[in-house]
Every structure is written in C-alpha cells, then in structure tokens.
C-alpha cells in the first residue's frame, strides 16, 4: 500500500471478546491497540440455548467500550465477527440488533469452517514462512477448529462443537475435577474427533500449531511449572492433567502460570487438547500468537486491496456450477444500472458509487450466482440456487451474507409471496426489483439492446417507464411486465409500468 490504512477487527468469542486495531503498510499489519474482555458468552447460554440477560448486558457493555475505541473509523475498515455461541443461540438475532447498536458497526456470524479459514490466515501470518504443511488446532470457548494448510492456503478445515467453556460447564460443574470427570470429558472429545481423524491423518502435516487462549494458557503453565521446555508436549499435558486431578480444581494459587480468568475454563481445555494429541498422535505442538482476530484483519486488508476472498468464491461457484458467464455478466450490468439509477435519486442515500456499498456488492454477487441451480434442474432452479447459497461452505462469506444472497436469489423470479415472510429489509426490495427486471429483460440471453428504462421509487413502491413503441414490438415482454406488476401488488407494493409520479426519474441504459 502506498499509504497506511487503519483497520480493526472485533472477535465476539464464546469466552472472550477481542478488539484489535492495526496499521496496514505494504501488505503487513502492525498492531496499534488491543483490548480483551472475558464476557463468557457461551457460559451464558441457558438449557434451551438462549443467552441470558445478565450475559447480554455484560456483552453490550463491552461492545459499548469497543465502539468508543472504533469511533471515527469508516465502515469498510472495521469487521466484527461472532462465533459458536452466536451460531447456536436461539435469541442471537435479537441480541445482535442490540449488539450492532452498541458497537456502531455491523456484526457477522461466521460458520465454523469460515472461522477455521480466518484462524489459519491469522496463524499463517504470525509464523515464519514454511514450505511444509501445518496443522492448526484452535480450541475456543464453544468450538474447536482444525486446519491443515501450506503457506497462506488452507487445504482441509473442520469445526467441532466442543470448546473450553462448554466442556468445563458440562463435565466439571462447579469447577470440581476428578479422574472420572476428566475421563468422561476426554472420551466425549474423542467421540467428537472420530469422524475426522482418518481424513486428517491421510492428509498429513509436518508441524502442529496451537492457537488462541487455551493453547497459550496451557503453554504458559507447562513452562512455568517446569513440565515442558517449549510449546506443548504430550508428557507435559499429562503432568498438568494429573496436577488438576490431585488439586481437585484449577487453583491459580497452586498452579504456576494459571491466571484467575482462565481457571474456570482450564479443565475443559485440557481434556479437549489431551484427546486431540492422542487421536492425532501429536507429541509436540508449538503455540502461535496468531488467532481469529488477526485473520479477520488480514482478510479485511485483502478486501481493501481488492483481493476479496468473497469474489474468489463467487468465481469458483460460477465454474463449479457451470454458470453461463456471458448471461451472468449481462444480468449483472443491467441489475446494477437499475440499482444505481434509483440509489442516485436525491431522496436516497448516494452510496451506490462507493466501493463499500454492501447492498450493491450483494446485488453484484446475486446476479452472477442466480443460475447455479440450473446445474441441478431447470424447474424451480431459483429454489435450488437459494438452497445451495444458504447451505454451502462459501469461504469469505458470513452466515448473514449467505442468507441475504439466498433470499435475493430466491426472490429473483416467480411470485414474491415466498419471500415476503423472510423478513426482507426495506432496502432489499430495490435489490429484488433490480435483479428481477434484469432477468426479465434479458430472457433471450442475447446481446440485443435493452430499451431505455426510466425508474423511480417512492414510499408506495416503484415505477417503470419505457418506449411505447418498444412495448408494442415486444408483446412477450409486455405481458411479463404486466404479470410482474401483479406480483408486486400481491405483496402490497406498487410497480407501475406506466403513469410515473413527478419524482425525479433517472434515465439509464445498459452502458
């Protein structure tokens, strides 16, 4: 980069919340500020998988403090991600609305495998370059991620629903530790690992690396207790395990190197790590300072420098599902033209020309991915497309982004009633209109010139005007527009093909 760029990452983990601010210079990030608060979001999950109010309050107070530090940074320079606790909490949507307001920036909930990719990215940037394969193991509060990769490229990723918080709560209630509890926790972890061990051993690696708080905390204890000379060893971990059983609890006053805020989650972390070392036959594990928040920063840097992983995923999906690239480009250009024409209206925020316009990016990707379902079946292909986008692993995309993609693609043809109940945001209706009109006018899948369109928006809906002579020469499209107007009326919105209001009408062509 020719000038420094200030970027910030927020990690809403199941155990701790982290904020890291960095300065990006020439492709490298130099940390300027870091904040950590032990919110224990995962410990606040009730039996019916809801975050209790006390934990929500603690989390929101933390995010208010983080928001103060982030104040003044542009939206495109900040990325906040939620992990396992927010993946499983039934009341996550309601909590996230308050959380976004407290932080002042959007918060994305990422899938387990996307979390794994970001962790690997952070770890890879924190270690010396190496040509050999590395296995990264990240024991978080509610999940554990496993990644095998070379350089900066992950090759195999997995996320299991076991973490130091959830395991400590489940198997070491009240902080009590004994041999039977430890064996039960280890056995449960081995059962979780059973489905992935063969694939990981077959892939192979040269170096095992632990990341995040659990690995660093265990390493510190092993070193200060004299149980290991560097990193984490199986023998050293066995000695720590025996010490915990002997003391019957994780006592910072009796265990060298154990911080008070780590005592509660240590037994669960030790049980999981012990099972991992045994199942994967690991004798020695180095520990990295890199973690999820570092990966988020480097991923954010890629977006700023036009190396967005999401763009690479879109291109990959187009190839995988044999999307017609010429038709996708036609639809993309016309859909964006419709969007820009309305979004540039003085009555709307003039954000369409900005590269960080999330809605415009969403429309761009949706236009190119709308037809991936054709590789499954032509009938109801938009439903197949939406299903894939909602459920596939899409590196770089958050779960929320995938759901928005799926909603828009589902809505791009047919009746609109099917998406009315999905809770479209007010701004998303413009995206739906733009994609539907582009699909309708480009049904012939040729480069025939589209007529001059004039579009406008008001509180009641949208208005569309085009040359009368063209409508008379294209009766099939005229009929389709009449049906389209009916679809919008059926969901209580207006799409007038004639009789435009006195609002400013933005003229556009296909460019």
Residues 49 and 138 placed together within one structural domain of the fold: no
Mean of pLDDT values over 322-344: 92
- Asked which of 30-34, 331-335, 416-420 is least confident by mean pLDDT, the reply is 416-420
For residue 217, being part of any structural domain is answered with: yes
Per-residue pLDDT of 34-56, as tens digits, reads 999 999 999 899 999 999 999 99
The pair of structure tokens assigned to 247 is: 């003391």
What's the CA gap between 419 and 410, in Å, rounded? Answer: 7
Would you say residue 426 has pLDDT above 80? no
Per-residue pLDDT of 384-398, as tens digits, reads 999 999 998 888 888
Higher pLDDT, 483 or 419: 483
pLDDT over 90, % of the chain: 66
For residue 116, being part of any structural domain is answered with: no
pLDDT of 508 reads 36
pLDDT of 306 reads 64
pLDDT of 305 reads 67
Residues 275 and 391 placed together within one structural domain of the fold: no
CA-nearest of 69, 128, 131, 135 to 102 is 69
For residue 120, being part of any structural domain is answered with: no
CATH number for the domain that contains residue 80: 3.30.420.40
For residue 421, being part of any structural domain is answered with: yes
CATH number for the domain that contains residue 456: 1.10.3210.10
Mean of pLDDT values over 255-267: 93
For residue 93, being part of any structural domain is answered with: yes
Higher pLDDT, 500 or 275: 275
CATH number for the domain that contains residue 202: 3.30.420.150
Residue-range definition of the domain harbouring residue 444: 308-508
Residues 95 and 132 placed together within one structural domain of the fold: no
What's the CA gap between 53 and 45, in Å, rounded? Answer: 10
Residues 191 and 88 placed together within one structural domain of the fold: no
Residues 212 and 346 placed together within one structural domain of the fold: no
The pair of structure tokens assigned to 169 is: 């709560």
Residues 165 and 246 placed together within one structural domain of the fold: yes
Per-residue pLDDT of 195-240, as tens digits, reads 999 999 999 999 999 998 899 999 999 999 999 988 999 999 999 9
Residues 274 and 134 placed together within one structural domain of the fold: yes
Residues 364 and 255 placed together within one structural domain of the fold: no
Check the CA dihedral 423-429-435-437 and report its sign.
positive
DSSP-assigned states of every residue in 111-165? PHHHHHHHHHHHHHHHS---SSEEEEEEE-SS-EEEEEEETTEEEEEEEES--HH
| 331 C-beta neighbours (distance < 10 Å), count | 25
Residues 216 and 363 placed together within one structural domain of the fold: no
Residues 332 and 480 placed together within one structural domain of the fold: yes
The dihedrals phi and psi of 101, each to the nearest 5 degrees, come to: -65, -40
- Give the end of a domain, one of 266, 300, 334: 300
Would you say residue 439 has pLDDT above 90? yes
Residues 261 and 377 placed together within one structural domain of the fold: no
Task: Report how far apart, in Å, the C-alpha atoms of 394 and of each of 101, 261, 462, 490 are.
Answer: 27, 35, 33, 34
Per-residue pLDDT of 166-198, as tens digits, reads 999 999 999 999 999 999 999 999 999 999 999
The domain tally of the chain equals: 3
Give 385's contacts (C-beta < 8 A, 6+ positions apart): 369, 370, 371, 372, 373, 374, 409, 410
For residue 450, being part of any structural domain is answered with: yes
Residues 269 and 356 placed together within one structural domain of the fold: no
In 159-259, where does DSSP find H-type helix? 164-171, 179-193, 197-203, 212-224, 234-247
For residue 402, being part of any structural domain is answered with: yes
Per-residue pLDDT of 237-250, as tens digits, reads 999 999 999 999 99
For residue 492, being part of any structural domain is answered with: yes
- Give the end of a domain, one of 300, 329, 360: 300
- Give the end of a domain, one of 276, 300, 324: 300
């Amino acid at each position: 980069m020719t000038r420094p760029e200030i970027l910030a990452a927020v990690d809403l983990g199941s155990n701790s919340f982290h904020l890291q601010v960095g300065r990006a210079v020439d492709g490298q990030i130099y940390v300027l500020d870091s904040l950590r608060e032990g919110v224990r979001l995962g410990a606040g999950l009730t039996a019916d998988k809801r975050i209790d109010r006390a934990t929500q309050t603690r989390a929101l107070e933390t995010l208010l403090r983080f928001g103060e530090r982030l104040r003044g940074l542009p939206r495109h320079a900040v990325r906040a991600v939620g992990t396992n606790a927010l993946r499983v909490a039934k009341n996550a949507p309601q909590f996230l609305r308050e959380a976004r307001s407290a932080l002042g920036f959007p918060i994305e909930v990422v899938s387990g495998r996307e979390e794994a990719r970001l962790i690997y990215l952070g770890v890879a940037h924190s270690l010396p370059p190496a040509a050999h394969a590395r296995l990264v193991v990240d024991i978080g509060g509610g999940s554990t991620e496993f990644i095998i990769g070379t350089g900066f490229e992950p090759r195999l990723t997995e996320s299991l629903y076991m973490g130091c918080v959830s395991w400590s709560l489940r198997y070491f209630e009240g902080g009590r530790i004994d041999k039977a509890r430890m064996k039960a926790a280890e056995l449960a972890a081995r059962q979780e690992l059973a489905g992935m061990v063969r694939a990981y051993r077959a892939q192979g690696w040269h170096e095992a690396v632990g990341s995040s708080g659990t690995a660093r905390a265990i390493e510190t204890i092993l070193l200060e207790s004299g149980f290991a000379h560097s990193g984490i060893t199986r023998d050293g971990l066995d000695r720590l395990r025996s010490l915990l059983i002997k003391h019957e609890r994780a006592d910072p006053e009796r265990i060298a190197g154990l911080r008070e805020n780590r005592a509660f989650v240590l037994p669960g972390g030790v049980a999981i790590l012990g099972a991992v070392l045994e199942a994967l036959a690991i004798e020695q594990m180095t520990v990295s300072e890199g973690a999820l928040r570092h990966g988020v920063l480097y991923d954010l840097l890629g977006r700023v420098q036009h190396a967005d992983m999401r763009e690479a995923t879109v291109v990959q999906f187009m190839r995988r599902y044999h999307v017609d690239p010429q038709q996708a480009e036609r639809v993309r250009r016309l859909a964006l033209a419709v969007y820009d024409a309305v979004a540039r209206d003085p009555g709307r925020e003039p954000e369409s020309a900005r590269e960080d316009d999330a809605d415009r990016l969403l429309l761009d990707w949706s236009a190119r991915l709308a037809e991936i379902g054709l590789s499954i079946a032509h009938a109801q292909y938009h439903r197949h497309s939406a299903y894939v986008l909602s459920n596939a692993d899409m590196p770089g995309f958050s779960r929320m982004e995938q759901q928005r993609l799926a909603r828009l693609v589902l809505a791009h043809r047919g009746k609109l009633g099917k998406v009315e109940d999905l809770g479209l945001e007010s701004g998303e209706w413009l995206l739906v209109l733009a994609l539907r009109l582009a699909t309708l006018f480009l049904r012939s899948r040729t480069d025939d010139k589209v007529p001059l369109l004039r579009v406008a928006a008001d509180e009641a809906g949208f208005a569309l005007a085009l040359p009368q002579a063209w409508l008379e020469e294209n009766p099939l499209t005229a009929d389709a527009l009449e049906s389209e107007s009916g679809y919008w009326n059926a969901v209580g919105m207006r799409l007038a093909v004639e009789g435009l209001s006195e609002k400013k009408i933005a003229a556009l062509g296909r460019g």
